[in-house]
Amino acid sequence: MIRLTFPLYCQVTVVLTALVIYHAANKYEQFYPTGVYLATAKHALLAITNFAVVLAYLIGKLVIKVFLERIHEREIDLLNDRLKTSITDTILALTIFREHFNAQFVFLLLVLLFFQVFHWLAKYRVEYLEHSPFDFKKNIKLFTLLVILLFFDVIFLYFAINSVFENGTPNSMMLFSLEYGLLLVSSISTIISFFINIEGIKREGRWDQKGLYILYLEFFSEGIKTILYGMFFIVSLIHIGLPIHIIRQLFISFRTFYRRLQDLIQYQSIMNERFQDATEQELENSDKICIVCREDMTSGKKLPCGHILHLHCLRSWLERQFTCPICRALVI
């Protein structure tokens, strides 16, 4: 009994695709009718789609090997969750753009999904950059991947927007304009986050303003995403119909944006009002020694109980507990 393995499946896929193309070329002899047949015949479309999926998988494995080396277990779980959501949204999107469902639409969806996967992986790697050992070679590879993703985001976004304007009426390319616009925002945000994390590593975690910069970055990126979702929702509602697949994402994006705004306000309130900057005299009285890191202080934040800490030490301490590390008095 022949055991079906992935290499065997790839070989069968290539053979079937070649047979379909050979049959079409032999039947129609000319390029244009052959192309029309391959794009419209159901069995030909199925074979070519299957070949495209296998090819995308192999290219994806190569990209992972070159730029990311391997995928961790937690990243596989992340991809599974994201893919379920993305596929569900795609199925709902087909209810709006069912009239435009053709070979080109399927191909563009596969390309979009391919790039989404690597945006998710790159963003996840950047988020955990500071919590992993510093590796210059790996960081260069990760940054190179981010630049490549940014380049393709710009190219595909231009292509999608140009297709919408050339057509003159709202069509399925609106969906790809939105998705690649979101990916472009994600790429720019991830690259900025990459540099922030690298700078944080260089300063060995003693960068007082890092948390504030991250909050501002998340606030602006979520704000732009909410605007993009809102614009797509309004245009689709007016010209095409109710975009069911966007409602959930629009709500989540707006809720995240609102939470980031609350976080910013709360952060500024806590750090500037509740924890005031220590004066030079107060630093002298505390011997200019931070009780958390045991290093000298040139500036610091004063707790309600009067003790003084580095801002980055205070933030790190508050992530674990809300009491003063010296007298154990509640500070929040």
Question: 302 to each of 205, 213, 224, 256, 293, how far by Cα in Å?
Answer: 20, 22, 36, 31, 16
Tell me how many domains the chain contains: 3
Task: Tell me the pLDDT of the chain (332 aa) as tens digits.
Answer: 456 677 888 888 888 888 888 888 887 877 778 877 777 777 788 888 888 888 888 999 999 999 988 888 888 888 888 888 888 887 777 777 766 667 777 788 889 999 999 999 999 999 888 777 778 888 999 999 999 999 999 999 999 899 888 876 667 788 889 999 999 999 999 999 999 988 888 877 667 677 778 888 999 999 999 999 999 888 888 877 777 778 888 899 999 999 888 888 877 777 666 777 777 777 777 677 777 777 777 777 777 777 787 777 777 676 566 777 778 777 76
Which stretches within 64-102 are classed as H helix? 73-96
- 101 within some domain: yes
Q: Is 98 exposed, middle or buried (0-12, 13-18, 19+ CB in 10 A)?
A: exposed
Does residue 330 lie within any of the structural domains?
no
Assess if residue 324 is contained within a domain.
no
Nearest Cα to Cα of residue 223 among 189, 254, 193: 254
Q: How many CA atoms lie within 13 A of 291 on its CB side?
A: 15
Regarding whether 310 and 203 lie in a shared domain, the answer is no
User: In terms of domains, do 165 and 285 share one?
Assistant: no
Residues 206 and 157 in one domain: yes
CATH number at residue 305: 3.30.40.10
pLDDT value of residue 108: 85
- CB of 194 within 8 A of CB of 143? yes
Judging by beta carbons within 10 Å of its beta carbon (0-12, 13-18, 19+), is residue 213 exposed, middle or buried?
A: middle
* Residue 170, pLDDT score: 67
Question: 302 and 308 in contact (C-beta within 8 Å)?
Answer: yes
114 and 259 belong to one structural domain: yes
H or E stretch including 105? helix 103-127
Same domain, 16 and 97: no
Do 113 and 180 lie in one domain? The reply is: yes
Going by C-beta distance under 8 Å and a sequence separation of 6 or more, which residues neighbour residue 320? none
Q: How far apart are CA 109 and CA 42, in angstroms?
A: 18
- Residue 295: domain span: 277-318
310, 207: one domain: no
Q: What's the pLDDT score for residue 277?
A: 77
pLDDT in tens, 133-162: 778 888 999 999 999 999 999 999 999 899
- Residues 55 and 193 reside in one and the same domain: no
pTM of the model: 0.81
Asked whether residue 83 falls in the same domain as residue 150, the answer is: yes
Ramachandran bin of 200, using left for φ above 0, alpha for ψ from -120 to 50, beta for the remaining angles: alpha
β-strand partners of 330:
323
Among residues 10, 40, 70, the one where a domain terminates is 70
Residue type, position 133, single letter: P
Same structural domain, 29 and 133: no
Cα gap 136→311, rounded to integer Å = 28
Residue that has been written with the tokens 């069911």 in this structure? 244
Task: Say if residues 61 and 114 touch (Cβ distance below 8 Å).
Answer: no
Residue 137 lies in a domain: yes
Helical segments of the chain, H only: 6-28, 31-40, 42-63, 73-96, 103-127, 136-167, 173-202, 210-239, 244-269, 280-285, 311-318
Identify whether the C-beta of residue 291 lies closer than 8 Å to the C-beta of residue 326.
yes
Is there a domain that residue 12 lies in?
Answer: yes
Do 104 and 6 fall into the same domain?
A: no
Specify burial of residue 177 (Cβ count, 10 A radius: 0-12, 13-18, 19+).
buried
Q: Which of 70, 89, 111 is the endpoint of a domain?
A: 70
User: How many angstroms separate the first and last alpha carbons of the chain?
Assistant: 68
329 found inside a domain = no
Please write the tens of the pLDDT for every residue from 2-24. Answer: 566 778 888 888 888 888 888 88
pLDDT score recorded for residue 150: 96
> Distance between CA atoms of 58 and 14, rounded to whole angstroms?
13
In a domain, 323, yes or no: no
Residues 8 and 278: their CA atoms lie apart, in Å, by: 69
Q: DSSP labels for 172-199?
A: THHHHHHHHHHHHHHHHHHHHHHHHHHH
My answer on whether 215 and 170 are in the same domain is: yes
Give the model's pLDDT for residue 4.
66
For residue 331, is it within any domain? no
Among 49, 70, 91, which residue terminates a domain?
Answer: 70
Mutual angle of helices 244-269 and 73-96, in 10-degree steps:
130
Q: What pLDDT score does 45 carry?
A: 80
